[in-house]
Amino acid sequence: ATVAAVVADAGPALVPPEVISRDEAGRTTVRATRIDVPLVVDGRLDDEVYRRVRSFGDFVQQEPLEGAPATQRTDVWLLFDDEHLYVAARCWQDASVRLVANELRRDGQTVFDNDSFAVVLDTFRDRRNGVTFQTNPLGVIVDQQMSDEGAGMNRDWNAVWEARVSRDAEGWSVEMALPFKSLRFPPGRTQVWGINLRRNIQARSEYTYLTLIPASAGRRGLMRVSRAATLVGLEIARPVRQLELKPYVTSMVRTDRETEPPTRGDLDTRVGFDVKAGLGHGLSADVTIFTDFAQVEEDEAQVNLSRFSLYQPEKREFFLEG
């Protein structure tokens, strides 16, 4: 079945119409739906669950017309199982509106000048901090941590997650799989998070959101988690124990005929690894053994024409979190 047919054929819904609600003050609440079978993340939206679970949308513009309805329709599904939170979206787009996508680098900042779809999660519901996940019609992966509604940004934070997209004559679609192991959140089975969604239609310079974001917020409007919707219905069946292991192996072959005695094919091999292990709800252990920090991309060219010192950003993952 085509994507259009799958979305149109809603069938018997698993959730009531109030999968999304907005009160008189404009506050938005959305409900995630549990699924029993893990989603096949391929960007096609052809799984049976999309016929049975209602979508929601009604995005509003931040720019160019603050508060106006989006010119292009967006349908969103929030699903979860024991391991993942799934965010899926069908981004309808008229053939007359050109699709803009040219960024392929991970965390490439020109993705903001592409058609894109993004989600921010305020997992502690403090209305100040969160993590963002973003992709474009080429399937690029962009993620970052933010604090104080964007006053502090950590673009070098790289979570383990997955995004897949597909395109057709009626627009494009995206599926994101966000493992609970990649996120931090309070203990307890029932979770209440903050969430907002953004879609950029670059050909029209149009930024649209699930909740109203003022134009004065600019491109950092997604960071305004104080204006985010409330995500309910999310249940995590068992405690998430985080364990990450990053091994590395480097080798070098050296030939030097000028030394005494000369060397030929001298092999030098180094092995090391980083480990992150969750020890409790508020405690984790970070361990590094023989880490080769020389492998980290650190040398960014900077020109200093002021009297203030320059500082290189921290990119060694062992030191990034916290």
* Residue 50 DSSP class: H
Residue type, 280: G
Rounded (5°) CA angle 179-201-76 = 40
Q: What are phi and psi of 6, to 5 degrees?
A: -65, -45
pLDDT of residue 195: 96
Residue type, 19: V
Strands 33-34 and 74-80, by their bridges, are: parallel
Q: Return per-residue pLDDT of the chain as tens, 322 residues.
A: 334 333 434 444 444 446 888 877 778 999 999 999 899 999 999 999 999 999 999 999 999 999 999 999 999 999 999 999 999 999 999 999 999 999 999 998 899 999 999 999 999 999 999 999 999 999 999 999 999 998 888 888 888 999 999 999 999 999 999 999 888 888 888 999 999 999 999 999 999 999 999 999 998 899 999 999 999 999 987 766 778 888 888 888 989 888 888 888 888 888 988 888 878 766 788 888 887 777 676 667 788 899 998 887 777 777 776 5
**Which residue is listed with tokens 């921010």?**
120
For 42: left if phi > 0, alpha if psi spans -120 to 50, otherwise beta; the answer is alpha
What is the C-alpha separation between 37 and 12, in angstroms, rounded?
A: 18
- This prediction's pTM: 0.81
pLDDT of residue 299: 66
Residue pair 204/101 in contact by the 8 Å Cβ criterion: no
Question: pLDDT digit string (tens) for 136-191?
Answer: 999 999 999 999 998 888 888 888 999 999 999 999 999 999 999 888 888 888 99
Number of Cα atoms under 13 Å in the Cβ half of residue 311: 4
pLDDT of residue 298: 65
